[in-house]
Amino acid sequence: MILALAKELELRKEEINEPIQTIYFGGGTPSILSPSQLNKLIDEVSKHYKVINDAEITIEANPDDLSASTIKDLAQSPINRLSIGIQSFHEKDLKLMNRAHNASEAKACLDEAMTYFNNVSVDLIYGIPKATNEDWLANINTALSYKVPHISSYALTVEPKTALASFIEKGIIDNVDDEQALDQFNLLKDKLEKADFVHYELSNFGKEGFFSKNNTAYWQGKSYLGIGPSAHSFNGVQRSWNVRNNTKYIKAISSGTLPHEIEQLTITDQYNEYIMTGLRTIWGVSLSRIEKDFGKSYKKYLIKQSSSFINEHLLYIDDDRLFTTKKGQFLSDGIAAQLFKLNLS
């Protein structure tokens, strides 16, 4: 697999003409790789692409993957940012979500991580059945006690055919309560903003200077190259994705073939993409950019579609930009869908 990833990097080197600002090891469990394997892949990126000197290099990991020795080894590598899937500091929550780590491992991992890295992000999940607002505030306070500069937080989603979905169907566990999830989202927002975090994207909070460059690039619609099975890429006008099957991926790459499908994005697709990503961020949607990139008819359509949400105090326009209000933030994806245009054949 390592050789295949390296080969794909070489095969696709002509696709990126600008300097690389971020390298992100995510999806699945990249921390299963040894530091030497990670270093090889970083070297391959530097070999085939121009990488800026202070590139943000992140690895996603779960607490059970990050032993003290592993963290020390990673600190000696070019990796300069950890994104740790804590999810909760409560044992009952971790068991319900079938996480491999326990609460004490989560805390021990963070202790070690903050000793060796100054750029650490933690993931937390809200809206967990039976988790009270007090439980949720305790999670936030625990994360803050480690002085992490970045927190990503997501509402619990129940995936089909999982143990959690089965328990809910059988009535063993309550389903996710949308009102409670909204309450906990607002508690999170208020608590973190008082702690000098900037809510720069719907699910992301960072101290100044610690916004995720990877996340920011994605939400601002910048190009990215995804390497490996299932990886997605985007260049503004095309979206592509690699085959999911590991064996098929390795076989294709070994023969010099890129095992991916490509979707050409229409102007309408590009408009919809910008609306979806822009509304989730503090940068909003630029009306002048809509007119410049897509035409006056798209700007006119957007203003018309937005009017009812503006009247409901879910959206507002300021300095030629469209934003969600505090009330509208949690609903931004649903609102965006109502602002989309349909592709007409």
Q: Which residues pair with 265 in a beta bridge?
A: none
What's 139's domain CATH number? 3.30.750.200
Query: Is 244 part of any domain?
Result: no
Domains: count for the chain: 2
Stretch 147-169: mean pLDDT: 79
Positive or negative torsion for Cα 274, 279, 280, 286: positive
Same domain, 193 and 102: yes
Q: What pLDDT digit, counting tens, does each position of 123-136 carry?
A: 999 999 888 999 99
Percentage of the chain lying above the pLDDT 90 cut = 83
Would you say 87 and 93 are in contact if contact means Cβ atoms under 8 Å apart?
A: yes
Domain boundary residue, one of 187, 204, 219: 219
Stretch 65-77: mean pLDDT: 93
On the question of pLDDT at 345 being above 50, the answer is no
Domain boundary residue, one of 202, 219, 236: 219
* pTM of the full structure: 0.92
Same domain, 192 and 64: yes
On the question of pLDDT at 166 being above 50, the answer is yes
Could you give the CA distance from residue 115 to residue 198 in angstroms, rounded to a whole number? 24
**Which among 56, 19, 24, 15 is positioned nearest to 240, based on CA atoms?**
15
Percentage of the chain lying above the pLDDT 70 cut = 95
Query: Is 236 part of any domain?
Result: no
53, 56, 59, 63 alpha-carbon torsion, rounded to 10°: 120
Q: What pLDDT digit, counting tens, does each position of 306-318 carry?
A: 999 999 999 999 9
Mean pLDDT value across the chain? 93
Q: Return the structure tokens found at 38.
A: 């990670």
Q: Which residues pair with 20 in a beta bridge?
A: 51
pLDDT at residue 170, rounded to an integer: 72
Query: Is 134 part of any domain?
Result: yes
- Residue 198's CB is within 10 A of a number of other CB atoms, namely 15
Poorest-pLDDT segment among 6-20, 37-51, 156-170, 248-262:
156-170
On the question of pLDDT at 344 being above 90, the answer is no
What's 273's domain CATH number? 1.10.10.920
Could you give the CA distance from residue 110 to residue 121 in angstroms, rounded to a whole number? 10
Same domain, 195 and 331: no
Q: What domain range includes position 164?
A: 19-219
Query: Is 4 part of any domain?
Result: no
Q: Return the structure tokens found at 119.
A: 């750029």
Same domain, 46 and 151: yes
pLDDT at residue 175, rounded to an integer: 66
